[in-house]
Amino acid sequence: MSPEHWTRPSRPDERDRIADTAVPAATSATPTREQVIAGLRATSEGGADLVQLLTPEGQRVSHPDFDIDITDEQLRGMYRDMVLVRRADREGNALQRQGQLGIWVPLLGQEAAQIGAGRALRPQDMAFPSYREHGVAWCRGIDPTELLGIFRGTDHGSWDPNETGMGLYTIVIGNQCVNATGYAMGQKFEGKVGNSGDDAAANEATMVFFGDGATSQGDVHEGMVWASVYDAPVVFFCQNNQWAISEPTERQSRVPLYERAKGYGFPGIRVDGNDVLASLAVSRWAMNEARQGNGPLLIEAFTYRMDAHTTSDDATRYRMGDELEAWKLKDPIERLRVHLLREGIADQDFLDGVETEADELAARFRQFCVDMPDPPPERIFSAAYAEESPVVAAQREDYLDYLSGFADSGHDTEGSVR
Amino acid sequence: MAAPTMESTGSSTTSTQTVTIAKGLNMALRNAMERDPKVLVMGEDVGKLGGVFRITDGLQKDFGEHRVLDTPLAESGIIGTAIGLAMRGFRPVCEIQFDGFIFPGFDQIVSQLSKMHYRSQGKVKVPVVIRVPFGGGIGAVEHHSESPESLFAHVAGLKVVSCSNPVDAYWMLQQAIDCDDPVLFFEPKRRYWEKGRLDPEAEHLPMVSSAVLRTGTDVTVATYGPMVKTCMDAATAAEEDGNDIEVIDLRSLSPLDLGPVAESVRRTGRLVVVSESPSESSVTSEVATRVQQECFYSLEAPVLRVNGFDTPYPPSKLEEGYLPDLDRVLDAVDRSLAY
């Protein structure tokens, strides 16, 4: 297991080999010291080039290429971001379990990757998400309640991509990579890239989010080809969370994913995706490069999906609990909490305040969810076309007529609370 | 209703000129690009070469490489980046080189292009035009002669149109570019060099409308694209047998404008629907279904169809048999009249 070929922590079928290297197999929920070390190696051996600025123990370390200027207030802000986003995420899971949502897509464990990337975006930049980007949405000013409609089944995405600078969630894996590249080409065609002097602050770039599984899709390849031949100002931000539902990353690739950039002729960086400082530093650098006209770039955020793929998935069928336990020791929030306290950047009062705020967010999130009305039936037909289709208009009229025939028999055609 | 396009070409003015369908399309693109700097042309070989059918000839020279993009050979990339460009406010006109090459882009068309407006409830518009040279009769190898329009007519969120003559080529392409919905624009490639009289200042029909090209009293024939000429020829030939055929060019395949067809069938009592595509679950099926619903008591015969066969497109030595021709159309007309 050379560092170059290390892509993820150990799996059951590797247990014997790991045992050979003197790391005992998992026997309980509490990891052994050896497992802790093996777990740490999982991140630090994510490749010799892994960028890390905050160790899992909360130690600030330097990196020759990617250091970062950051104020204490910004550090506290990112802690707050991660805690609040995780809290909304956990509430989403709970709401699904209680029947209030059809499904929830957990982001647990990927907070640092997403908050670091999201906080590197400027208002004029554009983000193209997949469907797990609750942390990025948070950074774009999209309230977590705006995500609920997708998972409750009342809409396909409620926010305005033009106002928020974030596209709607994209569920077909990898599709957004070509859309983002096209958008970035447009930024370039409009002269919003590579300006200097007074215009430099208005330079724009695009960041597109996808996972390790998506890297096998043709659209990711085509997006990278197009971005490279048009020098598009796009940053490909791949969250390698080790699992594409049940398939490990090595089912997608022979090489570490960041190395694929080489084949397209642009830089690829692997960053510790559980280290919010590193994610921010690398994302800032990459977005600046793209805004200056040096795009595209690829970032592989090496992280871990600590929950199942979705609430419909059962991760215990394909991975062992000790893997999760090992990654818990590299929790993105915990390492920043330790760092803030140790360095005196935040005190217990601050942490308690964030917890209180998280409680309030969770309560508001929950209440918003249970209060959401079902959309009225005419919503089926709304905005299928920009110019109304006579076919759709006729179908709407027929269907509403049909429904009105039930009015006397107690069928309610208006929106009703579930 | 405005005068049908083909009939209106008779009213000659000083601006009237004789052009091919190919030229009409080229003029339309040029006009649209001159009118709106956000209009882009993109596709494989559309720049320096002017496209394999020369539809985009001269555009890159005059509008530059940032408005006429020679793209990588990747149809999902063409459609997918056009969507991103449209989200940014551009109006991309994509060329798919041949009908059978559209399928690598099918995912982006169905999963993103057609659904973006609905998903966002109108907050995001994707005014992308996808030009597709379609149909057979050119003696080509596999994948170069297909008629996939019904696949797209089936997809909600897309408009699907087809031109059959230079006047429609000129106007409908500009209308498609102006349209805020995504439009699949099917061009009858074997008719690219057919000529007609185009008056750019004359009245013209809206994009979503069918047109009665020839009035008649005995049988209605509804068709579109490359089969329009075949059916017009058939109608002329039928005159010798004393049969008076009304020919309707459907022009818009989704949505269909069946008002003129229904009006015609109420007079003739008979309908034959013609297209090159395979017949199962096709545009011709839709026309047949809806006309029998609307004109049930007027019909003197079942609605008949003349299509390509439900096989993959054959090797070109067999395509004459596969493609509906004048005789097959007349055979259907005779069968309809014999009921």
Q: How far is B242 from chain A (nearest CA, A)?
A: 37
Q: Contact A215/A244 with Cβ under 8 angstroms?
A: no
Considering the domain architecture, whether residues A114 and A191 belong to the same structural domain is answered as yes
Count the alpha carbons within 13 Å of A24 in the hemisphere toward its beta carbon: 8
* pLDDT (0 to 100) of residue A47: 61
Beta-carbon contacts of residue A363 (< 8 Å; ≥ 6 apart): none
Considering the domain architecture, whether residues A315 and A405 belong to the same structural domain is answered as no
Q: How far is B306 from chain A (nearest CA, A)?
A: 25
Among candidates A156, A172, A222 on the partner chain, residue whose Cβ is nearest the Cβ of B74? A222
Q: How far is A34 from chain B (nearest CA, A)?
A: 47
Q: Is residue A387 in some structural domain?
A: yes
Is B71's CB within 8 Å of A226's CB? yes
Nearest CA in chain B to A221: B77
Q: Is residue A349 in some structural domain?
A: yes
Structure tokens at A179: 């859309």
Q: What's the rounded Cα separation, in Å, for the pair B128 and B38?
A: 11
Q: What's the rounded Cα separation, in Å, for the pair A85 and A276?
A: 13
Decide whether B5-9+12-198 matches B211-338 in CATH topology. Answer: yes
A399 catalytic, yes or no?
A: no
Interface of A with B in 189-208 (CB under 8 A): 189-190
Considering the domain architecture, whether residues A400 and A283 belong to the same structural domain is answered as no
A309 catalytic, yes or no?
A: yes
Q: Contact B116/A128 with Cβ under 8 angstroms?
A: no
Name beta bridge partners: B272: B221, B304
Chain B residues near any Cβ of chain A (below 8 Å)? 66, 71-72, 74, 76-77, 79-90, 104, 107-108, 111-112, 115, 117-125, 127, 156-157, 159, 179-181, 208, 254-257
pLDDT one-digit tens code per residue, A200-210: 999 999 999 99
* Residue of B89, B92, B152, B140 whose CA lies nearest to B286: B152
Q: Which residues of A touch B85 (CB under 8 A)?
A: 182-183, 185-186, 189
Considering the domain architecture, whether residues A9 and A152 belong to the same structural domain is answered as yes
Q: Contact A58/A112 with Cβ under 8 angstroms?
A: no
Is A178's CB within 8 Å of B81's CB? yes
Q: Contact B16/B167 with Cβ under 8 angstroms?
A: no
Q: What's the rounded Cα separation, in Å, for the pair A37 and A401?
A: 68
* pLDDT (0 to 100) of residue B15: 85
Q: What's the rounded Cα separation, in Å, for the pair B250 and B243?
A: 22
Pick the CATH number of B211-338 from 1.20.1260.10, 3.40.109.10, 3.40.50.920, 3.30.365.10: 3.40.50.920
Q: What's the rounded Cα separation, in Å, for the pair A66 and A278?
A: 8
Which CATH number belongs to the domain containing residue A299 in this structure? 3.40.50.970
Domains in chain A, number: 2
* pLDDT (0 to 100) of residue B9: 45
Q: How far is B66 from chain A (nearest CA, A)?
A: 7
* Residue of A210, A248, A356 whose CA lies nearest to A7: A248
B117 catalytic, yes or no?
A: no
Considering the domain architecture, whether residues A356 and A309 belong to the same structural domain is answered as yes
Considering the domain architecture, whether residues A359 and A291 belong to the same structural domain is answered as yes
Pairing assessment for the beta strands B252-254 and B271-274 based on DSSP bridges: unpaired
Residue ranges per domain, chain B?
A: 5-9+12-198, 211-338
Structural domain boundaries enclosing A381: 377-409
Among candidates B74, B84, B117 on the partner chain, residue whose Cβ is nearest the Cβ of A182? B84
Name beta bridge partners: B305: B273
Helices then strands, each counted (H, E), chain B: 13, 14
The torsion of the CA quartet B64, B70, B72, B75, rounded to 10 degrees, works out to 120
Q: What's the rounded Cα separation, in Å, for the pair A304 and A301?
A: 9
Q: What's the rounded Cα separation, in Å, for the pair A298 and B102?
A: 29
Residue of B91, B123, B290 to mutate, testing the A interface (most A Cβ within 10 Å of its Cβ)? B123
Considering the domain architecture, whether residues A166 and A213 belong to the same structural domain is answered as yes
Compute the residue count for chain B: 339
Q: Which contacts of A410-418 are long-range, i.e. CB under 8 A and separated by 24 or more positions?
A: A413/A376, A413/A377, A414/A376, A415/A373, A415/A374, A415/A375, A415/A376, A416/A373, A416/A374, A417/A371, A417/A372, A417/A373, A417/A374, A418/A372, A418/A374
Considering the domain architecture, whether residues A334 and A401 belong to the same structural domain is answered as no
Among candidates B77, B86, B157 on the partner chain, residue whose Cβ is nearest the Cβ of A178? B77
* Residue of B261, B159, B255, B150 whose CA lies nearest to B213: B261
Q: Is the peptide bond before A373 cis (omega within 30 degrees of 0)?
A: no
Q: Is residue A416 in some structural domain?
A: no
SS3 B42: strand
* Residue of A144, A91, A132, A55 whose CA lies nearest to A330: A55
pLDDT one-digit tens code per residue, A84-122: 999 999 999 999 999 999 999 999 999 999 999 999 999
DSSP collapsed to 3 states, A205-236: CEEEEEECHHHHCHHHHHHHHHHHHCCCCEEE
Cβ density class A151-189: b for 16+ within 10 Å, e for less: bbebbbbbbebeebbbbbbbebbbbbbbbbbbbbbbbbb
Is A186's CB within 8 Å of B76's CB? no
Which residue do the tokens 């897509």 mark? A105
Distances (CA, A) of B107 to A161, A252, B131, B241, B282: 22, 21, 17, 49, 20
Nearest CA in chain A to B207: A387
* pLDDT (0 to 100) of residue A1: 34
Superfamily designation of domain B5-9+12-198: Thiamin diphosphate (ThDP)-binding fold, Pyr/PP domains (3.40.50.970)
Considering the domain architecture, whether residues A218 and A73 belong to the same structural domain is answered as yes
Considering the domain architecture, whether residues A393 and A337 belong to the same structural domain is answered as no
Q: What's the rounded Cα separation, in Å, for the pair B328 and A126?
A: 55
Q: Is residue A120 in some structural domain?
A: yes
Q: Which residues of A touch B208 (CB under 8 A)?
A: 390
pLDDT in tens for each of the 418 residues of chain A? 333 333 334 444 544 444 444 444 445 556 566 655 554 434 335 666 799 999 999 999 999 999 898 999 999 999 999 999 999 999 999 999 999 999 999 999 999 999 999 999 999 999 999 999 999 999 999 999 999 999 999 999 999 999 999 999 999 999 999 999 999 999 999 999 999 999 999 999 999 999 999 999 999 999 999 999 999 999 999 999 999 999 988 888 888 899 999 999 999 999 999 999 999 999 999 999 999 999 999 999 999 999 999 999 999 999 988 999 999 999 999 999 999 999 999 999 999 999 999 999 999 999 999 999 999 999 999 999 999 999 999 999 999 999 999 976 555 545 444 3
Is A175's CB within 8 Å of B112's CB? yes
* Residue of B146, B172, B142 whose CA lies nearest to B316: B142
Distances (CA, A) of A12 to A37, A328, B34, B170: 17, 18, 64, 65
Ordered mean pLDDT values, 10 residues apiece, chain B (339 residues): 44 80 98 98 98 98 97 98 98 98 98 98 98 98 98 98 98 98 98 96 96 98 98 97 97 98 98 98 98 97 98 97 98 97
Which residue do the tokens 């026309």 mark? B287
Sign of CA dihedral A27, A30, A34, A38: positive
Considering the domain architecture, whether residues A393 and A317 belong to the same structural domain is answered as no
Q: What's the rounded Cα separation, in Å, for the pair A278 and A54?
A: 7
Structure tokens at A13: 């079928």
Size of interface A-B (CB pairs under 8 A): 132
Which residue do the tokens 């690598």 mark? B104
Considering the domain architecture, whether residues A157 and A278 belong to the same structural domain is answered as yes
Q: Which of A305, A319, A337, A396 is catalytic?
A: A305
pLDDT one-digit tens code per residue, A365-383: 999 999 999 999 999 999 9
Structure tokens at A364: 């508001």
Count the alpha carbons within 13 Å of B13 in the hemisphere toward its beta carbon: 8
Nearest CA in chain B to A218: B76
